[in-house]
Amino acid sequence: MAVVKAGVVVLDCAEPEQLAEFYKGLLDAEETEVCAHRVEIRGAGGTRLAFRRDANATPPSWPRPENSLQAHLDFLVDDLDEAERRVVGLGGRPLDTKGTAGPHEERGYADPAGHSFTLRHTTPTTPKQG
């Protein structure tokens, strides 16, 4: 059974709403999540992107090394503890992400090469019975 349900590429930026508008037009996408610090979209072909507010964001300088890393991966999971055991078992390590604000429970990790990513707990989409 797969532990990870889906992946979302997240771009850090100063104005997530504006960047989301650009990609919505490019991908014929619709918003799937909007909150004070994050906008997520899904394109007509299923492509998922999110844009996270970072007030200190600067434009990427690629290929120059300074400020060149401004993206990370979010992986959506049902069970954070199970997913963490898998990450650690494969050689990843938890990152200190205490105090992260947002509507979702999430945990930060680094892969064996040091690239950061986030596991986010997903909430069921089926309506409550009763």
| 63 falls within a domain | yes
The predicted-structure confidence for 87-97, as pLDDT tens digits, reads as follows 999 999 998 76
User: Could you read off the pLDDT of 6-51 as tens digits, one per residue?
Assistant: 888 888 888 999 999 999 998 899 999 999 899 999 988 788 999 9
Give domain status of residue 126, yes or no.
no
Decide if 129 is inside a domain: no
The mean predicted confidence, pLDDT, of the chain is 82
Number of domains in the chain: 1
Residue 127 within a domain: no
- The model's pTM is 0.64
Q: Is residue 49 part of a domain?
A: yes
Give me the pLDDT at residue 11, please: 87
Confidence of residue 117 (pLDDT cuts 50, 70, 90): confident
Domain CATH number, residue 56: 3.10.180.10
Residue 61 lies in a domain: yes
Q: Is 130 within a domain?
A: no
DSSP state of 68: -
90-110: string of b/e by CB count within 10 Å (b at 16+)?
eebeeeeeeeeeeeeebbebe
- Range of 105's domain? 4-121
| Residue 55 belongs to some domain of the structure | yes
